[in-house]
Structure 1
């Protein structure tokens, strides 16, 4: 599947039928998720970090891109990669490394370290530079961190999202936005909106009803799996 087909998955979706992209953290989990029939996958940086023995945000770029490449090689469906804030790489190098890893898309954050939001206009300029380097070869999911580190004001989130869409982002991702503000975000933002769900059917259904275009899980699946393994290990030890 090409990036154009991946991009098309985000458009002309029926109401209440969001694109669900589970988050593999290694090659084995990617194979399980692809075998379950999902049309594409989206790696979570926190889940990959945990699989490599790092805290979220502390994964060296070389290791993150190598992990993404292993996931891409393991499956036949397209993979979008969470590459945090871009690791300080210039747009040309960032795009090159994503394409070398085989990713069809990327998440890019608008925060710079814990609790620090980037200036939205400067970030929009940077996103525009990434878009210029990538052309149509990458699907850019621009994360909006106002609900994570900012005031949680939906108006601020909409303003940031509009700047990022104007800069060339294909989708915006107001991470941790409460479900009840999604209709306000939907009204103010043109184009696809990514929302985060818990690993349960109720979360998916509610986000679909409220207008989410695309649903990802962050590190939720990896943490669910580790909890299940922990419970199994305790049972076997007993």
Structure 2
């Protein structure tokens, strides 16, 4: 992998094919995905929070996020971290935290505009956060997320367009629009002026179809974490019921043990 990790990650959004970004929640999941050859992986704030016994999206996992970045620092992959809204109202504080992540080798962050009170933060405030991060940590890929559809705001397309323009002007590298309807994805990709990131949805368009719509990046979000949790429950229920779970064989003990490098803690 090139030593210019920032440039390498940026270029993965401009290859012509969508970048599949699987989202990990701990060292084992990240190491397993890296071992499968994924050039870049992200984290899921829900997975990180739930694994730590904390709620998501309420600024409860700043320390856990930083600790996870420390644990993942030696993996042979490019790492982008979901940092909710930056864990602080002050743009300078958010920029300082992103600087701490950069010092650990993180090359991207995901910043969202949704708030726990089911409202969008003012676009001007989110833009100020993005601008502060860009100024303090210029070699960081900032994925600006709008929850216009997830939070059900009026006229979500118009709101997403307005926010895309504000985030782009502030220095965002990508626009993330989870929940956007499939029939609007192509329009957003054409109009955003930034590489478009969407959330993979089981039963929705596959990578090839999303690529034809102009999507640059496809994240799995919390899906892998929830699928792993679901598989554990399914297997446990099958054992209790005395039936075959019908799941593929899990990784063996030695395979999982091999994911932990001597320098990992």
- 2:31 corresponds to which residue? 31
* Contact kept? 2:57, 2:115, Cα under 8 Å: no
Measured on the aligned residues, the alpha-carbon RMSD in Å equals 1.8
Aligned-partner Cα distance in 2 for 1:111–1:49: 17
- 1:20 corresponds to which residue? 20
How far off is 1:66 after superposition?
0.7
Aligned-partner Cα distance in 1 for 2:71–2:220: 20
The runs of 5 or more residues in structure 2 that have no matched partner are 242-265
What is the correspondence of 1:67-106 to structure 2 with a 5 Å cutoff? Answer: 67-73=68-74, 75-88=75-88, 90-106=93-109
The number of equivalent residue pairs is: 233
The DSSP-based 3-state class of the residue aligned with 2:76 is coil
| 1:150-187 deviation line (CA, Å, top 9, x unaligned) | 23521220110111011110101012111111112122
How far off is 1:202 after superposition?
4.9
| 1:35-92 deviation line (CA, Å, top 9, x unaligned) | 111111011111111221222224331122112322333x210110000000105144
Aligned-partner Cα distance in 1 for 2:52–2:216: 30
The runs of 5 or more residues in structure 1 that have no matched partner are none
**The one of 102, 113, 121 aligned to 2:116:** 113
Aligned-partner Cα distance in 2 for 1:96–1:167: 18
After superposing the two structures, state which structure 1 stretch, 208-217 or 78-87, moved more.
208-217
Aligned-partner Cα distance in 1 for 2:204–2:73: 26
- 1:142 corresponds to which residue? 144
State the TM-score, normalized to the length of structure 1: 0.90
From the superposition, tell whether residues 18 and 121 of structure 1 become closer, same or farther in structure 2 (CA, over 3 Å): same
Runs of 4+ in 1 over 4 A off after TM superposition: 199-202
Aligned-partner Cα distance in 1 for 2:82–2:182: 22
After superposing the two structures, state which structure 1 stretch, 171-180 or 198-207, moved more.
198-207
Aligned-partner Cα distance in 1 for 2:177–2:167: 12
State the TM-score, normalized to the length of structure 2: 0.82
- 2:10 corresponds to which residue? 7
* Contact kept? 2:190, 2:214, Cα under 8 Å: no
**The one of 171, 174, 199 aligned to 1:168:** 171
How far off is 1:201 after superposition?
8.5
| 1:128-160 deviation line (CA, Å, top 9, x unaligned) | 11100011x211000111112223521220110
* Contact kept? 1:179, 1:207, Cα under 8 Å: no
From the superposition, tell whether residues 237 and 52 of structure 1 become closer, same or farther in structure 2 (CA, over 3 Å): same
